[in-house]
Amino acid sequence: MVIEWLKVKVPIELRETYIQKDAEIWTETLSKYSGYVGKEIWFNPKDETDLIMVIYWDSKDAWKSIPASVLEDTDRRFTEAMGQSFPFVEEGEYQVRKFSDR
Phi, psi of 66 (to 5 degrees): -70, 125
pTM value is 0.88
Q: What total of structural domains would you count in the chain? A: 1
Buried b (16+ CB within 10 A) or exposed e, 20-41: ebbeebbbebbeeeebbeebeb
Examine residue 19 and state whether it is found in any structural domain, yes or no.
yes
Q: What is the pLDDT of residue 102?
A: 61
- Residue 24: its pLDDT value, please? 98
**Domain membership flag for residue 79:** yes
pLDDT given for residue 68 in this prediction: 96
Give the pLDDT means over successive 10-residue stretches in the chain (102 positions).
Answer: 96 96 97 95 93 96 95 98 96 83 64
| Of 70, 59, 63, the residue nearest 29 (C-alpha) | 70
- Looking up residue 74, the CATH number of its domain turns out to be 3.30.70.100
**Please, which residues have CB within 8 angstroms of residue 32's CB and are 6 or more apart in sequence?**
none
Specify if 23 maps to a domain: yes
In a domain? residue 100:
no
Q: Whats the size of the chain, residue-wise?
A: 102
- Side chain identity, residue 1: M
Q: Is the Cβ–Cβ distance between 62 and 36 less than 8 Å?
A: yes
What local confidence, expressed as pLDDT, does residue 96 receive? 83
- By three-state DSSP, how is residue 2 classified? strand
**28 within some domain:** yes
Query: Where in the sequence is the domain holding 39, given as residue range(s)?
Result: 2-95
